Amino acid sequence: MGTYVQLGDVNTWYDEHGEHGGGGPLVLMHGGLVDARFFEPNLGPLAERFHVYTPERRGHGHTPDVEGPITYGLMADDTVAFLEEVVGEPADLVGHSDGALVAMLVAMRRPELVKRLVLISGGFNKAGEAAPDAEWDVDAIFEFLGPAYAEVSPDDPEHFRVVATKIGEMAAREPDLRAADLAAVTCRTLVMFADDDLVTMRHAVEMYEAMPHAELAVVPGTSHFLTQEKPALVNALVLDFLSADKPLRTIAPIRRAE
């Protein structure tokens, strides 16, 4: 059913699933302009193993918007507050798209709050965009995603245009990290992309190589919506990664050679 918690000026909505899962807390972090329902094809298998939290960020889903801009930094601050006040212990973070970038920022700023990271289809700077000239068309976005927003948002359905404009303004400037910055992600990390994603494959590999404890997965025959297009494969990869605290001892290691 979900509930609300006041975190600063954001009345954050979240739900919990699999409370008796033996794998500990796992926080699912949805992409931009969607909500926790986006993870419906993935939630069941994850909740069988973990205590899953599904918070919705400011201006998304059941969580109302607040005055001012939306930035990755603000959303990372909101997530830190959620981890501290609701989860109360280090958690695994699984993020998609904008949620992946927010999860990565949390791990960089507050590594003690994050056990492991799964970053799905979230790049780290503008240079990696596969379609850099694509127009941010609020009317088209409203037609595509506005109906789902109207189903659950406490704000007026027309407010989705405001949120979409804020996200567009953020996306015009961010993310703006350097590859060298990613060395600050010290936890085990699974970097996952579609083979036809919103960032280039070169960018995906650069991201993987920049993190000291990263593993890389490319889901074939999928797009940015890979979690819905091939959920069984995505779920299997995520659960395989989260099933062990250490990487597999491989037969012929090069990158991970001791």
Q: So where are the chain's domains?
A: 3-242
Over residues 148-192, the pLDDT tens digits come to: 999 999 999 999 999 999 999 999 999 999 999 999 999 999 999
Structure tokens at 157: 């359905």
Over residues 75-116, the pLDDT tens digits come to: 999 999 999 999 999 999 999 999 999 999 999 999 999 999
User: Does domain 3-242 fall into CATH 3.40.50.1820?
Assistant: yes
Over residues 7-22, the pLDDT tens digits come to: 999 999 999 999 876 7
Q: Looking at the whole model, is its pTM more than 0.95? A: yes
**Quick check: 206 and 179 in contact, CB under 8 A?**
yes
What is the rounded CA–CA span in Å between residue 235 and residue 212?
Answer: 24
Show the CA angle centred on residue 12, arms to residues 232 and 78, nearest 5°.
Answer: 85
What is the rounded CA–CA span in Å between residue 77 and residue 81?
Answer: 6
Nearest to 49 by CA among 187, 240, 206, 245: 240
SS3 214: strand
